Amino acid sequence: MMSFFHSYTPLFELALFNTLLAFSQYVVLRAGVFSLGTAAFAAIGAYVAAIVVTTYGLPFWIGIVLAIAIGAMVGALVAIPLARLRGVFQALATLALVQIVLSITLNWVDVTNGALGINSIPKTVGLVGLLIAVAIVTYFMAAIGSSSIGRAFDVIREDETVAVSLGISVVKHHFIAFVLSGAIAGLAGALHSYNSYSITPNEYGFNMLVIVLAMVVLGGRVSIWGPIVGAVILTVLPELLRGFQEYRTVVQGALLMASIIYLPRGVADTLIGAYRRRRIAEETSRMRETVTA
């Protein structure tokens, strides 16, 4: 049993890291913001964390705190101008952000070491650290999700006009969503750089953006289980398909298309919906029995 865990530790770690990224993407999508900025926030978090430790020699927890804070700050900075944009325009603006961060990390060689990335970062975060982080973020997301903020997110996503007429400030909640997304992605980036010894700019490019979006679409955008399910499926699936190495991307693409066409609400949300419907049906049939009896 222990050897099983041991040989699969990297896979577990990757799944946990992906779950964090998926949460960052999930929180904006839930609020109806079509942001693709998660990869940019994660890159910022990773570089902040790596530089804090390698250049300044500070302890790693300062790096994590700084990465979260700066991630949240960038999220807030992006949210202010993006409050005017919707849908496709938001997607494009955040895509531009990813590209801007990518070219900064590639070209600001003095600080980021350019395309070589930052190497020999001491490994300070293991499986346990990642587990704790995911547990805290999951709890936090669940708490927010069932609070008034979560309800407001749901209303805004479904219909902005209704939200406004209910007195919900769209700008404010979009702002909250961006800050949360930035903070979580910053944390994910920091943990990744403390977990993997080295970071390079191209890890945080278009590919990451696509995979993270795929996780949330596949898992579901409403319930808290969505990003977790999506991250686990899309982390484990490539391992199962290792024999078909060449067709991994094809399968990923096909899965993404199939899930948005045939399962538009995602695996978790569809299952939860089906479960609720069945419970309601059972309740009503039981009530009918008691009435007839």
Partner 1 sequence: MLMQQLLNGVVVGSVYGLFALGFTLIFGVNHIMNMAHGAVFMWGAFAGLYAVILFDVPFPIALLIGAVGGGMVSVVLDWVAFRPLRKRGAPEFSSIVSSIGASLIMLSLAQQLTATRVMRFPFDIFPIVVFNFMGLRIQLLQLIIVGIVFLMVIGLLYYLYRTKYGRHIRSVAFSEQTSKLLGINPFAVNFQLFFLSGALAGIAGVLIGIVFNSVHFMMGEPLLLRAFVVIILGGLGSIPGALIAGLLIGIIQTLTVAYISAGMADALVFSLLFLVLLVRPTGLLGNSGAVARVTRI
Structure tokens at 75: 């999220």
Residues 78-97 close enough to bind partner 1 by CB under 8 A:
81, 84-85, 87-89, 91-93, 95-97
Q: Which amino acid is at 241?
A: L
Q: Does 206 bind partner 1 (CB under 8 A)?
A: yes
Considering only 254, 280, 281, 287, the residue that binds partner 1 (CB under 8 A) is 254
In whole angstroms, how close is the CB of 42 to partner 1 at the nearest point?
18
Helix axes 248-262, 206-219, angle to 10 degrees: 40
| 140 vs 206, beta carbon nearer partner 1 | 206
Assess contact for 25 and 212: CB atoms under 8 A: yes
Q: Does 263 bind partner 1 (CB under 8 A)?
A: no
Q: Does 171 bind partner 1 (CB under 8 A)?
A: no
Residues 102-161 close enough to bind partner 1 by CB under 8 A:
102-104, 106-107
Helix, strand, coil in percent for the chain, rounding step 5:
80, 0, 20
Q: Does 9 bind partner 1 (CB under 8 A)?
A: no
Assess contact for 91 and 36: CB atoms under 8 A: yes
Residue 16, C-beta contacts closer than 8 angstroms, at least 6 positions apart: 127, 130, 131, 133, 134
Phi, psi (rounded to 5 degrees) for 49: -65, -45
| 108 vs 139, beta carbon nearer partner 1 | 108
Can you give the binding site for partner 1, defined by CB under 8 A?
34, 81, 84-85, 87-89, 91-93, 95-97, 99-100, 102-104, 106-107, 206, 210, 213-214, 217, 246-250, 252-258, 260-261, 264
